[in-house]
Amino acid sequence: MRSEILTILRKAGGEYISGAYLAEKLSVSRTAIWKHICALKEEGYDIDSKSRNGYRIISSPDLLTPGEINAVLATNVFGCVIKYYKTVSSTNNAAKLLAQQDAREGTIVVSEEQGNGKGRLSRCWFSPAQKGIWCSLILRPPFLPQEAPKCTLMAAVSICKAIRSLTGVQVGIKWPNDILYNGKKLVGILTEMNAEMDRINYVIIGMGINVNVTVKDMPVEIRNTATSLLQIIGKKVSRVRLLCAILAELENEYEIIKAAGFAPILEQWKKYSVTLGQKVKVIGINETFYGKAVDIDDYGALLVDTGEKIERALAGDVSIRPAEK
């Protein structure tokens, strides 16, 4: 109901809409309309009320509610269904439960905060309330399970393009799942899959994006290694517009992959990479080695020239650090 009220008020373009019109349009009483308006005001919407004139919307809070997202979203599939939380332990965990219940491809889970956000290799992800984009996307791709890790590369390219386009911030991709600015982490991506031998049941792409996080918001231990768009450009960025831009880029790249395979995405990834050409330290489960990151192969694995041979690093097995050698 509140989403419908907001839609009508937005379409009015700042003109007043009477309570009687809203009540008739939505088949409820004028008292019910008034109660919903009061609730919207409590959520942060600035709605002007004037006797005999009705209501008009002046401004909206930067919330990732379905109503706010749908007002901006320009996709055909991604974001078709939105599961919204004020707080959740992990959007990836919530998305997996939905996927197991046959949620549609393109369904997203968004939360204003996460109590136990997840990163790669069981790391935690700092997710303060209403300061970032904590979102997971459900995919049901037609390709084979061994290609699923490349969904991380697809997401990194899409997020990188959206941030550059919307804010002008020249971010880059650190293999396999981080987006950096001047060496500091801005975005983390966590891709998880459920599959059988020859088919993928679902893929969850989780995105943690530091949008309006201040230095004081951050735990002391990550202040030297993490950043946010607010810290970079000195002003707040609309989380709704950024999320919608990312979903549009993701949907476009996904359609390219289904039509032409991953090759075009891999080439874009290389263009945005801040890992290729750098000396790296590869920390694996059973071994650690140094070398120069020279390429990624057709499966998204990082190829490292150790000086003796080309080693292949898989995203799920290793961490990459800048090498001092």
User: What's the pLDDT at 306?
Assistant: 93
Tokens representing residue 225 in the block: 């290694």
- 90 annotated as ligand-binding: yes
The separation between CA 11 and the C-alpha centre of its own chain, rounded to angstroms, equals 28
Residue 30, CA atoms < 13 Å, CB-side half-sphere: 8
Can you tell me whether residue 56 is helix, strand or coil?
strand
> What CATH number should be reported for the domain whose range is 1-59?
1.10.10.10
Q: What is the pTM of this model?
A: 0.88
The residue among 250, 293, 259 whose CA lies nearest residue 274 is 293
- 165 annotated as ligand-binding: no
Q: What are phi and psi of 128, to 5 degrees?
A: -70, 155
- 231 annotated as ligand-binding: no
CATH match for 66-272 among 3.30.470.20, 2.130.10.10, 3.30.930.10, 3.40.50.300: 3.30.930.10
Percentages (nearest 5) of helix, strand, coil residues in the chain: 35, 30, 40
**For residues 220 and 75, what is the distance between their CA atoms, to the nearest angstrom?**
38
Task: Please determine, looking at this structure, whether the domain spanning 278-322 carries the CATH number 3.40.50.300.
Answer: no
Q: What is the 3-state secondary structure (H, E, C) of 228-292?
A: CHHHHHCCCCCHHHHHHHHHHHHHHHHHHHHHHCCHHHHHHHHHHECCCCCEEEEECCCCEEEEE
User: What's the pLDDT at 125?
Assistant: 64
Q: Kindly give the interhelix angle for 30-42 and 19-26, rounded to the nearest 10 degrees.
A: 100
DSSP tag of 114: B
Domain boundaries, the chain: 1-59, 66-272, 278-322
**pLDDT mean for each 10 residues of the chain (325 residues):** 90 93 95 94 91 92 90 95 95 97 97 74 70 97 90 96 97 93 95 94 97 94 94 97 98 96 94 94 84 92 93 75 64
